Chain A
Amino acid sequence: DTGVSQNPRHKITKRGQNVTFRCDPISEHNRLYWYRQTLGQGPEFLTYFQNEAQLEKSRLLSDRFSAERPKGSFSTLEIQRTEQGDSAMYLCASSPESQNTEAFFGQGTRLTVV
Chain B
Amino acid sequence: AQSVTQPDIHITVSEGASLELRCNYSYGATPYLFWYVQSPGQGLQLLLKYFSGDTLVQGIKGFEAEFKRSQSSFNLRKPSVHWSDAAEYFCAERDNFNKFYFGSGTKLNVKP
| Residues in chain A within 8 A of chain B (CB atoms) | 4, 6, 31, 33, 35, 40-45, 48, 55-56, 91, 93, 95, 99-108, 110
Contacts and interface: CB of A to CB of B under 8 A. Distances in A.
B96 A44 contact: no
Interface of B: 4, 6, 32, 34, 36, 41-46, 49, 51, 90, 92, 94, 96-105
Nearest to A4: B43
B105 A42 contact: yes
Contacts, number: 60
A93 B45 CA distance: 11
A42 B46 contact: no
B96 A99 contact: yes
A44 B32 CA distance: 17
B43 A91 contact: yes
Contacts of A41: 104-105
B103 A56 contact: no
Contacts of B36: 105
Contact of A107 (B42, B96, B98): B42
Nearest to A50: B97
A43 B91 CA distance: 11
A17 B47 CA distance: 38
Count chain B CB atoms within 10 A of each CB in A95, A102, A110 and give the residue with the most: A102
A40 B45 CA distance: 17
A105 B105 contact: no
A95 B104 CA distance: 22
Contacts of B100: 33, 35, 43, 45, 93, 103
The 5 closest A-B pairs by CB, nearest first: A42-B102, A107-B43, A105-B44, A105-B43, A95-B98
